[in-house]
Structure 1
Amino acid sequence: MPTSHVITWEVSGSKGVETAWIELGADALRAHGRAVGTVPEPYWISYELDTADAFVTRRLHVTAESADGVRTLDLRHDGAGRWTANGEHQADVDGALDCDLGLCPLTNTMPVLRHGLHRRPGERELLMAWVSVPDLTPVASRQTYTHLGPGLTRFVSGDFRRDIRFDDDGFVVDYPGLATRLG
C-alpha cells in the first residue's frame, strides 16, 4: 500500500523553495510539486511525475512561468528506452530510465531507490534525461551515484560532486549547495 509524504525543501540552488506531494509504493512513485525560485531568474514551476515498475520514469509534465512567458514540457518514456518531449523524439536521451528536473531534489530519489544506494554498497553510472530550469530543455546527462554509508550517497556529474543525505524512504534530506529539507 502506498505511503503519502509531503516534503518541503529550501532550494539554495535557486534561492527558492519547493514542496512535493508524493505517493510512494513498493516500486513506483507518483508526485506533484510546486517550486518558486529567483536564480537564474524569477520563476514558478509546477510538475507532475509518474514512474512505473522499478521507479522508471514514465512521464514528467512541467509548466514554468517567468518573465519570458509560460512554457510547458511533456517528457515521456515509452518503457522501452525511447523518450519524447512534447511529442518529438529525443534520441540523445534514449536508453535513460530517469528524468532529472533541474534544481528539484525529488528527482534524485528514483535511481537511489531502484538500486538501494541509500542503504547498501554499490555504484551506478546512469544516463538521465536532465531538464534545465526554467527554460525546460531536456538534455542527456551522465551521472554516477555511489553509496558512501547509511543514508549517504555521492552524486557526480562531470566536474560536479556532492555527498547527498537521504532518509530511509530515499528522499533528499540535505543536498549541499542545492537543497535542505525543512521540518
Structure 2
Amino acid sequence: MATMPKSLFWSRVDTAGSDQALFDDRRGLAVRGVALAADPLPYTCRYELVADESWSAARLEVGVEGAGWLRTLRLERAAGQWRASTAEQGDLDAALAAAGRPGAGLPGTDDPGRLDDAIDVDLGASPLFNTLPVRRLGLLDAEPGTTHRIVVAWVQVPSLLLAPAEQVYTALGSGRVRFESEGFTAEIQLDAEGYVVHYPGLAQRYDVGR
C-alpha cells in the first residue's frame, strides 16, 4: 500500500468524533480516510476515494463497522454510469433499535440509474467531500455570487444508503462558499487549496501549530 503525502484532521462539533484523510492531490485526488462518531451509535467508517484530474469522482469504497454489525459499499463510475455493490454482516437495524434510534434500511440503492446526473459523491458528515465540487467548479476563484446547482451521489452514514441529492454551492469570496441542500444551509470556510477549515455545526479542522 502506497503512503500518502498529505493529511488533514477534523474534529466533529455536533457529536464526539473525528475524521482523518490521508491523500495525494498531485494528479486528481486519491484518499484513504477514517471517520469515528458516537451518533446515532458508535461506529468507525473507513473510506477510499479516487477522483480524476478534473476532480470528478471515479470510485468510492466505504466500510462502516460497529458492535455486532458491518456494512460495505463500492461505488464506481464508468462510461457515465454508476455501479454499486454492497455487503452486510450482523444487524445494524437491531443495534439502532437497542439504542432507541430509527432503523437504517438497506445499504446501497436498487436503481443506480437514479445517479446518472451525479458527477460528485458526498459521504455523510465527511468534510473532505466538499472539496470535489469546489475544485471541479473553480469556486475558489469565482466571482462572489456565482452559483452552481448540482446532483451528487449521497452516501448516508452509517446506513450506507445511496441516493441522488441536489446541492447548491455559491461562491462568497475570501475562501468561503455557501452550501445548501434540502433546507440545510452552511457557510463553509476553505483553505487556499479548497479543503474545509471550518464547517459550522459539523466539523473544525485541526492544524499543527495553530
Q: Could you tell me the TM-score, scaled by structure 1's length?
A: 0.92
Aligned residues: 179
Indicate if the aligned counterparts of 2:50 and 2:60 stay in contact, CA closer than 8 A.
yes
Shift of 1:72: 0.5
Shift of 1:67: 3.1
Q: 1:120 aligned to 2:142? A: yes
**Letter paired with 1:17:** S
Matches within 5 A, 1:1-183: 4-25=5-26, 28-78=28-78, 80-86=79-85, 90-121=112-143, 122-183=146-207
| CA deviation profile, 1:50-99 (whole Å, cap 9, x unmatched) | 01131111100001002350111001111x33111118751111121011
Indicate if the aligned counterparts of 2:121 and 2:155 stay in contact, CA closer than 8 A.
yes
Indicate if the aligned counterparts of 2:56 and 2:132 stay in contact, CA closer than 8 A.
yes
Question: How many angstroms apart in 1 are the aligned matches of 2:167 and 2:15?
Answer: 21
The structure that is strand-richer by fraction is: 1
Question: How many angstroms apart in 1 are the aligned matches of 2:80 and 2:14?
Answer: 30
Question: How many angstroms apart in 2 are the aligned matches of 1:154 and 1:131?
Answer: 21
Indicate if the aligned counterparts of 2:29 and 2:53 stay in contact, CA closer than 8 A.
no
**Letter paired with 2:162:** P
Question: How many angstroms apart in 2 are the aligned matches of 1:83 and 1:34?
Answer: 24
**Letter paired with 2:77:** H
- Shift in CA distance, 14/49, structure 1 to aligned 2, threshold 3 Å: farther
| CA deviation profile, 1:7-29 (whole Å, cap 9, x unmatched) | 00002244200100011125x11
**Letter paired with 1:84:** R
Residue aligned with 1:44, SS = strand
Residue aligned with 1:92, SS = helix
Question: How many angstroms apart in 2 are the aligned matches of 1:123 and 1:5?
Answer: 30
Moved over 6 A (4+): none
For structure 2, the residue ranges without an aligned partner over 5 or more in a row are 87-109
| CA deviation profile, 1:90-138 (whole Å, cap 9, x unmatched) | 1111121011000100000010001121232221100000000011111
Question: How many angstroms apart in 1 are the aligned matches of 2:71 and 2:182?
Answer: 28
Indicate if the aligned counterparts of 1:119 and 1:150 stay in contact, CA closer than 8 A.
no
Question: How many angstroms apart in 2 are the aligned matches of 1:135 and 1:68?
Answer: 14
| CA deviation profile, 1:145-177 (whole Å, cap 9, x unmatched) | 000112000000021000000000110000000
**What RMSD over aligned residues (CA atoms) do the two structures have, in Å?**
1.6
Q: What percent of counterpart residues are identical?
A: 37
Residue aligned with 1:113, SS = helix
**Letter paired with 2:56:** V
Q: Could you tell me the TM-score, scaled by structure 2's length?
A: 0.81
Larger Rg: 2
